[in-house]
Structure 1
Amino acid sequence: MTEFHDLAELALNRDGQSWGNLGHWQSATDYSDACRALATLLGEQAGLDHKSIVFDAGFGCGDQLLLWLEHFGVSQIYGVNLSHSQTAHAGNLLARNGRPVSAEAILQGDVNDPGIWTTALNGARPSHVMALDCAYHFPDRLAFWELAQRNLAPAGRMALTDFMLAEQHRTDGFRHRLLRWMLKSAHITETNIVHRDVYLDQLEKEGFGNISLVDISEHVMPAFTSGDGRGLRWSAWCKYAVTSRFLKWAYHRSVLRYCVVSATKADQSDNRN
């Protein structure tokens, strides 16, 4: 069965790397380095350390799992990923690097399924829920936030990188029609892409506070590239070439913004930043 999220990104990486995100290109010129930089930035914003218990809601091919374990030294890791092929690759990657994780902790499945969280965590309460460059792909991001809030330990932290509408963008006219077409082509639920104020209000309503939202668009959207396409099958090359052009257009035309978001499971008394 053909998967929308598969192993195509392997061709974009250096040997031994299997990253699959948009990357943070402030100082990186290589796809693998840019992807690692974005993951590192997210881990830093989340405040990961040796005490952290991480649930990764969309771990791709597993490189970020190794980063959480080796660079940040987290104590335990769990996760769910939609792709069968990527999940199998992630398990093998961890094992090859001496970091085997039980098949019950790193699962293939839908992050909007409460049962997946129950099975993976097996009673554990994560201190951090992470979603690196994937939350906008979830069938229902609000349902994901609700599950994160429910499963996090008290004062636990959720951290993600995500798209939202630029403040200047109007939800009518040609630009929005083109955006809607691109979202459908990319298997992104349209209701996941909202303006900043709506995004913040939604987080608060789901029980999160101490919200930090950092716009990193300039180091992600206009810089994303899949290189010269060598090693990619034609369909994958077209996908990444179109993505690159669209992101440049959406950035320069003030249609979308890309942000690092972190928020704490909080009481109603918490305030957003």
Structure 2
Amino acid sequence: MAEFHDLAELALNRDNQSWGNLGYWKKDTEYSGACRALALLLGEDARLDEQSVVFDAGFGCGDQLSLWLTHFRVVQVRGVNLSRSQTAHARDRLAEAGFPAAAAAIVQGDINDGQAWHATLGTDRPSHVLALDCAYHFPSRLEFIALSHQHLAPAGRIALTDFMLADQHRTGSITHQLLRWMLRRSHIAEANIVHRTRYLNQLRAAGFEEARIIDISQHVMPGFAHFVRTFQGKARAGWKARLKYAVTGRFLQCAYRRSILRYCLISATKKD
């Protein structure tokens, strides 16, 4: 059975790169660099350092796992990812880079399944839970936040990049019907896309404090839309992937210009 989350993004990358996020296009003009920039932004906002133990929710094809280990020099990474093909690719990437199982342990599974967390963490408690450009795809972001709080060490941090409704967007509007249609096509639960105030309240209700949301839409949504519109390597991607990226790019451009969605950097600390 074909997976919605597969290896299609490999065609967008430079050789030996396998990033799969929307990218941070403030300075970069090509896909792999923009994706790495978004991961760096998340790691910096999470305050990763040489004492950090990271649980990566939805690690994709694994390039970010190597980034946590090499750039931020974290102690360990653990992770769960839904895609079988991506998880296998990530394992191969980690092995090729020479990382032992003690430094990087990842499993394939549903991030909303507590057993998947236990399979990779055991009784350990990470200092950080990260979700790079994927939480909106989880079956329930609320459940993910609750599991993050449950498994984090005291004073641990959650950090993610995620979509939310623009403050001025009204759920009863015609544009909201367009949004609902696009969410269904993109395998995104409508309950995951909420306004900023509700997002903050969900974090606080789950037991997090010092919650912060930074809008980085201007450096993400138009940049990705421009990239897919002008990408010169379209022949490397299959027609389904080309259609997926074209539709996504056009929608993101529309959602940004018409203030439907915002793309944000979110972080919070677990209460003691």
Counterpart in 2 of 1:193?
193
State the one-letter code of the partner of 1:253. Answer: R
SS of the equivalent of 1:105 reads strand
- Tell me if the contact between 2:75 and 2:103 (Cα under 8 Å) persists in the aligned partners: no
Counterpart in 1 of 2:256?
251
Q: Percent identity?
A: 64
Spell out the pairing of 1:1-273 with structure 2 (5 A cutoff).
1-101=1-101, 105-224=105-224, 225-226=227-228, 227-228=231-232, 229-267=234-272
SS of the equivalent of 2:235 reads coil
* Higher mean C-alpha deviation, range 129-138 or range 166-175: 166-175
- Tell me if the contact between 2:76 and 2:103 (Cα under 8 Å) persists in the aligned partners: no
Deviation, 1:104, is 9.3
TM-score, length of structure 2 as denominator length:
0.96
Counterpart in 2 of 1:271?
none
4+ long deviations beyond 6 Å = none
* Higher mean C-alpha deviation, range 217-226 or range 126-135: 217-226
The unaligned stretches of length 5 or more in structure 2 are none
Deviation, 1:102, is 6.3
Instruction: Provide the rounded CA distance (Å) in 1 between the counterparts of 2:245 and 2:96.
Output: 29
- Tell me if the contact between 1:7 and 1:85 (Cα under 8 Å) persists in the aligned partners: yes
- Tell me if the contact between 2:57 and 2:111 (Cα under 8 Å) persists in the aligned partners: yes
- Tell me if the contact between 2:76 and 2:102 (Cα under 8 Å) persists in the aligned partners: no
The unaligned stretches of length 5 or more in structure 1 are 268-273
SS of the equivalent of 2:124 reads coil
- Tell me if the contact between 1:91 and 1:101 (Cα under 8 Å) persists in the aligned partners: no
Deviation, 1:266, is 1.1
Per-residue CA deviations over 1:17-49 (Å, capped at 9, x if unaligned) read: 000000000000010000000000000000001
TM-score, length of structure 1 as denominator length:
0.96
Tell me the number of residue pairs that the alignment of Structure 1 and Structure 2 aligns: 267
Higher helix fraction: Structure 1 or Structure 2? Answer: 2
* Higher mean C-alpha deviation, range 223-232 or range 247-256: 223-232
Instruction: Provide the rounded CA distance (Å) in 1 between the counterparts of 2:221 and 2:101.
Output: 34
Per-residue CA deviations over 1:250-273 (Å, capped at 9, x if unaligned) read: 000000000000000015xxxxxx
Per-residue CA deviations over 1:179-222 (Å, capped at 9, x if unaligned) read: 00000000000000000001101110000001111100000001
Instruction: Provide the rounded CA distance (Å) in 2 between the counterparts of 1:138 and 1:104.
Output: 22
RMSD: 1.2
Deviation, 1:105, is 2.6
Per-residue CA deviations over 1:51-98 (Å, capped at 9, x if unaligned) read: 000000000000000000000000011000000000000000000011
- Tell me if the contact between 2:157 and 2:267 (Cα under 8 Å) persists in the aligned partners: yes
* Higher mean C-alpha deviation, range 118-127 or range 31-40: 118-127
